[in-house]
Structure 1
Amino acid sequence: MAQTLYFPLLLIALCSISECVQRQYHFINELKTRTVAQQYCREKYTDLATVDNMNDVNQLIKFVKVNDRGVWIGLQGTNDIKWHWSSGGPVLFLNWASGQPYSRNNCTFTKNGQWYVGACNATWTFICYNMSTGLVFVNQMKNWRDAQSYCRQNYIDLVSVRNQNENQQLEKFINDNQISGSAVWIGLFRDPWQWSDQSNSSFRYWKPGVPYSPDDTHCGAVEMFDQGQWSDYSCSGSQQLPFVCHEDKLIVIQQKLSWSEALRYCRQNHVDLVSVQSEEMQNEVMNVVKLASTEAVWLGLHNYCSMNMWLWVSGDMVCYQNWAPGNGSTPENCELENRKGAVQSGGDQTWISRPESHRLNFICTNY
């Protein structure tokens, strides 16, 4: 029995300690207008800071060294309102009821298997998700913002639905919990804010009562005197603040190489082929893979045939998984085909298995 349990326990232990920083932040303690700060970051790093999740918030807070004023980040208002998922992923699937979304409300609830737009200050129960336990129904009445905060503090975030399969799983979960006829918050919302680097990230960390003026004359700033929460400042004039830049660590190489050639290229010119160890890292991959010229892009994912399992070239177990249907299992002839993992550059951008001799673009990492 001990031998039977050893490998699963080892896998759980290795997965639990795997952590990856998405990007490197650089705090610039110089007073500059938002336009000049953006130009500075683009010349010396990648751009003004993008923030994908609470891990990024905590990393950013470590670098900011002022407590008496706001600090520019890369979020700017626009005049174009778009739908987002609270978890930061792009919106690839929608399940609106007939006639929806019909109003100017900005938050989404599900009822009787379909989605409706609702007032964000309405109070309903909600569904969180967690990496280990999956979907979690919270039988507490909260407005959308408070439901989001609750999920982030106790689990990961409000539930996202990226495709028809996940929608079916959500509907089954709702039916199993006998809440189909009730309004239940999910993580879909819309707002007019956009990151300076054009990232798809929809993560927001506004302090209560803001943003005040969501238009193209206002930009986001971190306020350390409010525990690192965000406020909006006028950025069309002479307002000067310190700022935070970020430096991306993922690079799409638009050469068409076999998996082994791509691995050699990354290790000679950067650090390694990318390992995708979390949903946050998958979102980073999705942001950069759109630059690819091939239908799929190599990841650092290879099949360890003798053990009937997939591993990352970094040595990590495959804890987080994002396989397309029909992929991810070990083929019977895997030794002959020498299967490797890639991410689709279009569609749902899920992972697929391909013979290592296929010639694709690839993603290197500088972590």
Structure 2
Amino acid sequence: MDQTLYFILLLIALCSVSECVQRQYHFIKEKKTWTEAQRYCRENYTDLATADNMNDMNEINNAIKLKQDKNTDQAWIGLQWTGREKWQWSSGEPALYLNWATGQPGASGEECAMMRNGQWHDERCSKFLTFICRSSNNTNTGLVFVNQTKNWRDAQSYCRQNHIDLVSVRNQNENQQLEKIMNDSHISDDVWIGLFRDSWQWSDQSNSSFRFWHPTEPSSAGVENCTGLKQDYYGTWNDLSCTSLKSFVCYEDKLILIKENLTWSEALRYCRQNHVDLVSVHSEEIQRRVMNVVKRASTAAVWLGLHNYCIMNMWLWVNGEMVCYHNWAPGNGTTENCNLEKRKGAVQSGGDQHWISRPESDKLNFICSRN
């Protein structure tokens, strides 16, 4: 077998999603109000704890157990009620395109969205419906219909565990594509899509849509506007008065935006001398963390640890891993002419925050991984 082909097949065989923990959590036993806890975390770490999924919740609960005493009943995390309801996608994207049926959205308490005959309706998140996931396995549409009935949160968890996420519908073309799939598959029932609304916002302003409320919570939003973990209920969440004195959990982000304008090689050298490396993005979860970090960038694009390996005519991460998950903008990520200036990978700091190919001599902000 040709040696080059053998090497490519070996990389593909090793290609897997890396479930890297992107935050390190720290439990602080001091009793503070939510605002005092937020100030402490921002001064000493990154912010009050944010969670994207159950992996994060397990890490938070483990951090608490390491230092827990018998008097620790609840602990602050970074979720706070704002009073401003907004619709957003499960992926964290804002809902800029909406296709509500006449009279929708309707009743209060119907906080999740489903699709019926090509139009959207709000519904109670506890209702059991079939649903559609975004997937990287279906190259034709990127969508998978799941013929199981689940409530919206369980449908979201299923999609994240088995595919990418609940489907996002960002424009009319995507809505028509989704409607066509339902018609072609003779799906006449209502189906969950990845749209939901609530008034809770994370302290670090991230777009994480993950929620882990106790079944009876939140119970007093507007009065009890901050969130604590109920340690006697598996770390589920409870809304509390922000002036209550509680222990709390901070997080330290393992991704750090460097607002210096350097070439790709200079950025790589900086990260390896001062932290660990230029960031590698192996999954949708890490991409969401990158999207939150690059919002603060001062350049239109930000370097990633992504480079074109001309000998193999492929893109690789700086740690040598193949690009399995990808988020390329249209027209980017294809084969490059290696006779021209060498190309490296960056992420847009605005817009859709896709990956783009740039000359390595461009001077951009960059993201390092640390710890």
TM range (shorter): 0.7 to 0.9
Are 1:158 and 2:199 matched, yes or no? no
Distance verdict in 2 for CA 1:146–1:278, change over 3 Å: closer
Distance in 1 between residues matched to 2:55 and 2:135, nearest whole Å: 15
Structure 1 alignment gaps of length 5 or more: none
SS at match of 1:16: coil
Question: Contact 1:91–1:162 (CA<8 Å) still a contact in 2?
Answer: no
Note if contact 1:162-1:348 (Cα within 8 Å) is conserved in structure 2: no
Matches within 5 A, 1:113-152: 113-129=118-134, 132=137, 135-151=143-159
Evaluate the alpha carbon distance shift between residue 131 and residue 206 of structure 1 in structure 2; reply closer, same or farther with a 3 A threshold.
farther
Q: Residue by residue, what CA displacement relative to the aligned partner does 1:249-293 show, whole Å, maximum 9, x if unpaired?
A: 222222222211221222222221111111111111111111112
Q: What's the counterpart of residue 116 of structure 2?
A: 111
What letter corresponds to residue 231 of structure 1 in structure 2? N
Aligned-residue offset at 1:218: 1.8
Contact 2:166/2:194 (8 A) holds in 1: yes
Match of 2:355 in 1: 351
Matches within 5 A, 1:335-350: 335-350=339-354
Is residue 101–residue 117 contact of structure 1 (8 Å, CA) maintained in 2?
A: yes
Letter in 1 for 2:220: S
Going from structure 1 to structure 2, the CA distance change for 1:165 and 1:365 (only over 3 Å counts) comes to farther
CA distance in 1, matches of 2:315, 2:31: 49
Is 1:277 aligned to residue 275 of structure 2? no
What are the residue-to-residue correspondences of 1:1-367 with 2, within 5 Å?
10-16=10-16, 18-65=18-65, 66=68, 69-87=73-91, 89-91=92-94, 93-97=96-100, 99=102, 101-103=104-106, 104=108, 105-129=110-134, 132=137, 135-151=143-159, 157-161=165-169, 167=175, 170-179=178-187, 181-215=188-222, 217-235=224-242, 237=243, 239-331=244-336, 333-367=337-371
CA contact (8 A) 1:322 1:350 kept: yes
Q: 1:224 & 1:255 partners in 2: Cα distance?
A: 42
Structure 1 letter corresponding to 2:233: D
Displacement, 1:29?
2.1
Quick one: which amino acid aligns to residue 109 of structure 1? M
Aligned-partner SS, 2:32: strand
Shift of 1:92: 5.2
Q: Residues 150 and 345 (structure 1 numbering): CA distance in 2 closer, same or farther, change over 3 Å?
A: closer
SS in 1 for 2:311: helix
Report the identity percentage. 66
Q: Distance in 2 between matches of 1:243 and 1:92?
A: 32
CA distance in structure 2 between the partners assigned to 1:269 and 1:162 by the alignment: 39
- What amino acid is aligned across from residue 357 of structure 2 in structure 1? S
**TM-superposed deviation, 1:233:** 1.5
Pairwise CA distance, 1:17: 6.0
Change (3 A) 1:175 1:194: same
- Partner secondary structure for residue 306 of structure 1: coil
Change over 3 Å in CA distance of 1:56–1:39 after alignment to 2:
same
Q: Amino acid of the residue matched to residue 147 of structure 2?
A: N
Does structure 1 conserve the Cα–Cα contact (< 8 Å) formed by 2:101 and 2:120?
Answer: no
Q: Which range moved further: 8-17 or 292-301?
A: 8-17
Once the two structures are TM-superposed, the CA of residue 302 in structure 1 deviates from its matched residue by 0.2
Q: 2:328, 2:354 within 8 Å by CA — same for their partners in 1?
A: yes
Contact 1:122 1:142 in 2 (8 A): yes
Measured at CA, do residues 20 and 145 of structure 1 come closer, stay the same or move farther in structure 2, by a change above 3 Å?
closer
Alpha-carbon displacement from aligned partner over 1:291-325 (angstroms, at most 9, x marks no partner):
11221111110001111211111222211110111
Q: In the aligned structure 1, how far is the partner of 2:320 from the partner of 2:35?
A: 42
Aligned residues of 1:85 and 1:187 also touching (Cα < 8 A): yes
The answer on whether the counterparts of 2:45 and 2:252 sit within 8 Å (CA) in structure 1 is yes
Amino acid in structure 2 at the alignment position of 1:27: F
Q: What is the CA–CA distance in structure 1 between the aligned matches of 2:4 and 2:273, rounded to whole Å?
A: 40
Distance, in Å, in 2 between the alignment partners of 1:277 and 1:358 is: 24
Cα separation, 2, equivalents of 1:12 and 1:157:
23
**Does the 8 Å CA contact 2:87/2:95 hold for their aligned counterparts?**
no
Task: For 2:47 and 2:133, locate their aligned partners in 1 and report how far apart those are by CA, in whole Å.
Answer: 32
How many residue pairs get matched? 362
- In 1, the alpha carbon distance for the partners of 2:231 and 2:10 equals 40
